[in-house]
Amino acid sequence: MRRQIPLLITFVVGTLLIVSVFIPPFGELETTFNIWFDIIAVFAFFLGGGNLLRVHIDKLRKKKRDWPFSIVTIAGFVVMLAAGLFKINNPGDIASAVDAPGSLFSDIFNSVQYPLSATMYSLLAFFVASASYRAFRAKNREATLLLIAAFIILLGRTPFGVLVTSWVPDSTSLLQIPNMAIWIMNAPNLAGQRAIIIGIGLGVISMSLRLILGLERSYLGGEK
């Protein structure tokens, strides 16, 4: 029973959602189920957030490696949670948006979380360069094609590309790099994308069916 009921739930819910596309009065099931998902996700956070706290308190208690940083994590979590849940310093009262300008919550976000997030994101620039240097090699025919396409797009989307081939007469304008870049985007790139996208669509259908039919059930855990 412990396994049958969940399998049944998956089957019924999955089938209902598929059928709802064809039955207008069921059209809003999708909406309802999505709200349910959002609500479940909040409850799940009690588990996730609790786990985060547990891991770091544990680190602290056992004085594991780098334990002092756990204090910072716990403090950050608690402060931000308090600022958000109690809407500390929010203009107006509890009815205002949690991230209303001027609140402690939005101040911490802007002065701490934003710079961190943006910087972490910007590390990509460095990694792109190191990957370009180390890994993008014309090792074989496939890799060579990848490189050539990348090159033309890179050039074509920058002012260099415009300069390099601006002497090409307009009658053969396709040979100007920016136009070549556009053509690559619109033809071969599009073709590759389509093949991948159609493939993904079929992969999703097949996997979804396996899940709905209960062939794939590892996420339901063991018998105990």
Partner 1 sequence: MTTRTKEIIALVAVALFVVIFYIRKVAGRGAIEFPTWLSMLVILLILASLLWILVLTIRGRLIERRVVFLYVGIAVALPLFMSLTQKISVSPEVKQLYDAIVELPEGSKVLLSFDYDPPSAPELQPMAESIIRLCLQRDLKLIIMGLWPQGPQQANLALEKVFDDEDIAAKNLQYGVDYVNLGFQSGNEFVIQRMGGSFQSMFQSDYEGTRYEDIPLVRNVRNFSNVDFSVNFSAGFPGTVEWVQIAVDRFGLDLGAGNTAVQAPQMYVYLNAGQLNGLLGGMSGAAEFEDVADYRAKGTKFMLSQSFAHAVAIAFILIGNVAFFMSGRKSRLKGD
Partner 2 sequence: MGQPDTAPLDTAVFADSGAVTVAPVESLLAEDHKYDNGRAVDLSWVPSIDDQLVDSKALGYRVYRIVDGGEADSLADLPPFAAAFTDGSVERGHSYVYFVSALSPSGEFPSVHTAPVKPEREWINLSRGWLFLIMLFISAAVIFFVETARRGKKLFVRKIAGLEAIDDAVGRATEMGRPVLFIPGISDMDDVETLAALTILGRVSRTIADYDSKIFMPVSRSLVMTAARETLKASYQSAGRPDAYSDDMVNYVTDEQFGYVAAVDGLMAREKPATVFLLGAFFAESLILAETGNSVGAIQIAGTARPAQLPFFIAACDFTLIGEELFAASAYLSGEPRMLGSLKGQDVGKALAMIVILVGVVAMTMSEAWDVGVMENLRAWLVRVFSTS
Partner 3 sequence: MEHFALWLGAFLTLGILSFLYKDNAWYKLSEAVFVGISAGFWFATLFWDNLVGKFWDGKGEEPMLWVGAALGLLMLFRLLPKVGWLSRWPLAFIVGATSGLWLMNYLASNIMSQVQATILPVFSSGFGAGFDADLATIVGNLVIFVGTFTGLVYFFFSKEHKGVFGGAARVGIFFIMITFGASFGYTVMSRMSLLIGRIDFLLGDWLGMIG
Q: Which residues bind partner 2 (CB under 8 A)?
A: 18, 21-25, 27-28, 34, 37, 40-41, 44-49, 51-52, 55, 65-66, 113, 116-117, 120-121, 123-124, 127-128, 130-131, 135-136, 146, 150, 193, 196-200, 202-211, 213, 215-216, 218-224
31 binds, among partner 1, partner 2, partner 3, none (CB under 5 to 8 A by kind): partner 1
Amino acid at 152: I
- Which residues inside 22-81 make contact with partner 1, applying CB under 8 A? 28, 30-31, 34-35, 38
Task: Give the one residue of 148, 163, 166, 175 binding partner 3; rule: CB under 8 A.
Answer: 148
Helix (H, G, I), strand (E, B), or coil: what is residue 214? coil
Task: Give the one residue of 93, 108, 137, 164 binding partner 3; rule: CB under 8 A.
Answer: 108
Query: Which H or E run includes 80?
Result: helix 67-85
Question: Which residues lie closer than 8 Å to 16 by C-beta, 6 or more apart?
Answer: 26, 29
CA distances from 184 to 145, 148, 157, 172 (A): 12, 11, 12, 16
74 counts as binding partner 3 under rule CB under 8 A: yes
Structure tokens at 114: 């934003």
Our CA angle for 21, 18, 29, nearest 5°, is: 65
**Tokens 């060579």 identify what position?**
144
Residue whose CB is less far from partner 1, 34 or 51: 34
- Residue 80 Cβ vs partner 1, minimum distance, rounded to whole Å: 14
* Total Cβ atoms within 10 A of residue 83: 20
Using CB under 8 A as the criterion, what x/- string covers residues 76-105 for binding partner 1? ----------------x--xxx-x-x----
